[in-house]
Structure 1
């Protein structure tokens, strides 16, 4: 058996039979005579390829694989790799290296100092010392990517390794081995939090992406009910980790230090699960907590725990911690927090619509199983208007890097065909990886892409006001034919002019098995 065959055998043993990629000459020896039981999903740009693999891993809950072209292809992918790293997504990133003899000569397409190229955006980086070590490196990378805290790994693979003979005895052990890499908080440590929570006079809970699973949702809801807790989503979230119609839901925290602290006024204890403490964005000076408030948190990421500037942090699976606390914390007999006041559905006349009205129209079109791939950054925290009632229903670029949402939606749909994916994109974000529309058309991936067209970088315009930076150039995006571009890539595209038409168009598109793009006019910032 050759190294190439052993490589695919290791992938099969982990249930990985989909490869995302954009090939180059260094990768051809691996890809020749591609196995019939594998699926290759072609992206026209490496940034789109890695975001597709990211979305696929999110949907399946297992490591995915993307194959890139040497240093240049890896470089093209690194913008979206920041989202994969920040989102703790288990993606195995492979790239082809020049022939071993040529790398010392820095021949064309040599990946110079390959193991350092993807740092610090990966958990581990490797170029095997010998061809025979390729299967071992792949096995290690898959297991490490999926171990807590999950995250991407990087393998640089020389093009002349694939026809070498593999070690069949070593391969047998690699295919059988497993790693249970999900440590939990020790009972003595959790008991400290349990006692602190039991003794708190007025606690509040903060939840983050790390509990966006069935166990985490159930535990958070039950703990909120048991203790009558108000519940906030942590700042700058990449996922929705709590039902937005739960009586305790209080929305997404703002992203500056003093505004977050103000939301904790009157609370003696903040308990956070599955969130970094905290992912601030808009800069404002201030103290992290109001006087008399203490924070405790649980995260699976030791780096998140140790860089937190305040609080007492426990390291372990936060969903597991919630489930154990819920079973053992005494109930508090006090009135639940009053539900958020919600405005009725907006029905504006147009010709352009507010973001809130567009969200209302989309919410009316989706159902509880719909997955939202959200890269409409000028309205990144407008979740209060969506009815989100189950885990894994909303995803946002975890590091804020644009160009993730469109291809990630394709990966999400391929990873879980049982749930339809609705991508919400700004007209600025769309064009970072617009070529991914070709992949959706080529493989008939039935994502519904809704593009809000306001002809500007709306999120940046908001920041020019907050940062008192008038007169910034390059914020206008006039004259782009979005539906024409989509049609050229083979996507059925529609431009609507009423909110009822938007709801109807999205509802109809979600009922088909083909991709669709729907453009809706959004009020620019100056008219909001």
Structure 2
């Protein structure tokens, strides 16, 4: 215990007690000067400190850890430039609805009249709007209570990251003499029987029902229930656009694939197959672009309507996010936990006769070995060697189709991807996941361009000897730049990454790395890397896969 000038307990001591009570004993950090007072005389036997070499990686690791445990994770970084470094990862965590408490170091209160080094200007404003809640205590002794409050806010639906700025000198000030009572806050939100009956009636009355699975179904423990619901309905299940978490087995015969984030294509695919669709979890829908924006012709005056769903299909939307419900494109929206809704629907739905549904996915060709290797062949071999309970983290913004076609993940596999357009989550998220679940092999499939954003995570994986296999389908370029700007020769240097050697970079961070350029030995390298004691990176040189397929 540290003492203040009068010999009493400090804010730091009271805060550590709160962290113990909340179970926030694993700390992801890259501390700066403004957090050092917190770490003096650190109780190493009670708290696990996970160091990251850059703040974006630190937040990404905490994101993966929280998604593995289902509980808020704790991040401690500088609240000014440190938080600014991490904002891409904070943006992703907010998009994924990941519960997380971020403590941001602030300069001492007496210095805030000026412009001190490492200051967090307008500290609570920097992470907004990509944060659920932010606060800075008015008094030093309020720090522990504010952290407890932040934890409860992060944990309640819709979950998300929260931020607390703490001035450096607060840690050594006297703590409140009254012990802090931490309330037990439990979610008591349940879907109303009326809502469940309405959704069940719509599905039972449909001739061609369809389901769309969002990440919250898996996060709320209802993945198996969704399988039961789909089988009872004999209904196709689609992955929600920008699928960031596997909520339905991809190898199940009722899985129809992941919807593209383009309204025209969503309407086309769903109107051909369904008359009623229920969206379970997430917004309806996350969109990336519109079809007309692919044209390179001169643009006319924009008289087009806002994105809309086809009137040929009745859409019902279930989400625990009131804002997503307010912005929905569906006909009806229900604010309720999607996992609980799925569980509640299973006994209400009338069992239908199992009949073979019209095929919506084209047969997938088995790729052949070639030199240079194709990424489809890489994924084909990877699928054959994957452990049954492997958890995959994927970021292939341009070439995702090959991944899902060649690696049909089963009921025991986990799947995570970025929930936003910010790059870097899978590389760091897998490290955080492995810290929480060292019993499962985490497999990262990320292009060499995306890997650069949280490359520092390799060092943390090596330090903790984590069971993570990093597989890099290396096409030596930023393909999004190449294909959108290929006619502009001045951009060529911007998308040419042929000089990046990922295996050598991995070895520099302490992770065994191997560069593979031919089919010979690829399968053996995959097998060995998936059974290794600790992290391994395979830099697999592949041919340019071409512009992305939807």
Q: What TM-score bracket applies, with the shorter chain setting the length?
A: over 0.9
Q: Is contact 2:70-2:219 (8 Å) kept?
A: no
* Partner SS state of residue 334, structure 2: strand
TM-score normalised by the chain length of structure 1: 0.94
- Matched residue, 1:404: 425
Q: Is contact 1:213-1:392 (8 Å) kept?
A: no
- Matched residue, 1:497: 517
Q: Displacement of 1:396 after TM fit? A: 0.7
- Matched residue, 1:112: 121
Is 2:19 the counterpart of 1:11? yes
Alignment of structure 1 residues 225-240 onto 2, 5 Å: 225-240=231-246
Alignment of structure 1 residues 203-218 onto 2, 5 Å: 203-213=209-219, 215-218=221-224
Select the residue among 336, 339, 344 that pairs with 1:319: 339
- Matched residue, 1:26: 34
Is 2:346 the counterpart of 1:346? no
Select the residue among 126, 130, 134 that pairs with 2:135: 126
Distance 1:249 1:372 in 2: 18
Is 2:297 the counterpart of 1:276? no
- Matched residue, 1:185: 191
- Matched residue, 1:167: 176
Is 2:103 the counterpart of 1:94? yes
- Matched residue, 1:258: 264
Q: Displacement of 1:50 after TM fit? A: 0.5
Distance 2:188 2:56 in 1: 29
- Deviation track 1:410-469 (CA, whole Å, cap 9, x = no partner) reads 10110111111011110111112222222222222231111111111124445558xx98
Deviates more, 1:343-352 or 1:426-435: 343-352
* Partner SS state of residue 383, structure 1: helix
Q: Displacement of 1:347 after TM fit? A: 3.0
Is 2:46 the counterpart of 1:35? no
- Deviation track 1:146-175 (CA, whole Å, cap 9, x = no partner) reads 11111000010011111222235332x12x
Select the residue among 387, 399, 403 that pairs with 1:379: 399
* Partner SS state of residue 11, structure 1: helix
Distance 2:489 2:353 in 1: 52
Is 2:435 the counterpart of 1:426? no
Deviates more, 1:427-436 or 1:127-136: 427-436
Distance 1:391 1:65 in 2: 28
- Say what the alpha-carbon RMSD is for the aligned residues: 2.1
Distance 1:489 1:75, change over 3 A: same
Q: Is contact 1:365-1:504 (8 Å) kept?
A: no
Q: Is contact 1:437-1:489 (8 Å) kept?
A: yes
Distance 1:70 1:447 in 2: 30
- Matched residue, 1:523: 543
Is 2:374 the counterpart of 1:359? no
Q: Is contact 1:209-1:275 (8 Å) kept?
A: yes
Distance 2:179 2:144 in 1: 9
Distance 1:326 1:500 in 2: 49
- Matched residue, 2:301: none
* Partner SS state of residue 169, structure 2: coil
TM-score normalised by the chain length of structure 2: 0.90
Q: Is contact 1:182-1:317 (8 Å) kept?
A: no
Q: Is contact 2:483-2:547 (8 Å) kept?
A: no
Select the residue among 307, 329, 338 that pairs with 1:309: 329
Distance 2:220 2:383 in 1: 22
Select the residue among 55, 62, 65 that pairs with 2:71: 62
Distance 1:527 1:205 in 2: 29
Distance 2:86 2:222 in 1: 31
TM superposition outliers: structure 1 runs of 4+ over 6 Å:
468-471
- Deviation track 1:492-516 (CA, whole Å, cap 9, x = no partner) reads 1111234463332222222222211
Distance 1:392 1:164 in 2: 48
Distance 1:137 1:214 in 2: 27
Aligned residues: 522
Distance 1:69 1:215 in 2: 34
- Matched residue, 1:84: 93
Distance 1:347 1:283 in 2: 35
- Matched residue, 1:488: 508
Q: Is contact 2:438-2:466 (8 Å) kept?
A: no
Alignment of structure 1 residues 195-210 onto 2, 5 Å: 195-210=201-216
Distance 1:95 1:246, change over 3 A: same
Q: Is contact 2:197-2:348 (8 Å) kept?
A: no
* Partner SS state of residue 163, structure 2: strand
Alignment of structure 1 residues 450-461 onto 2, 5 Å: 450-461=471-482
Distance 1:447 1:111 in 2: 35
- Deviation track 1:347-404 (CA, whole Å, cap 9, x = no partner) reads 3222231x22221111112122101111222223432322322367111111121122
Distance 1:63 1:392, change over 3 A: farther
- Matched residue, 2:297: none
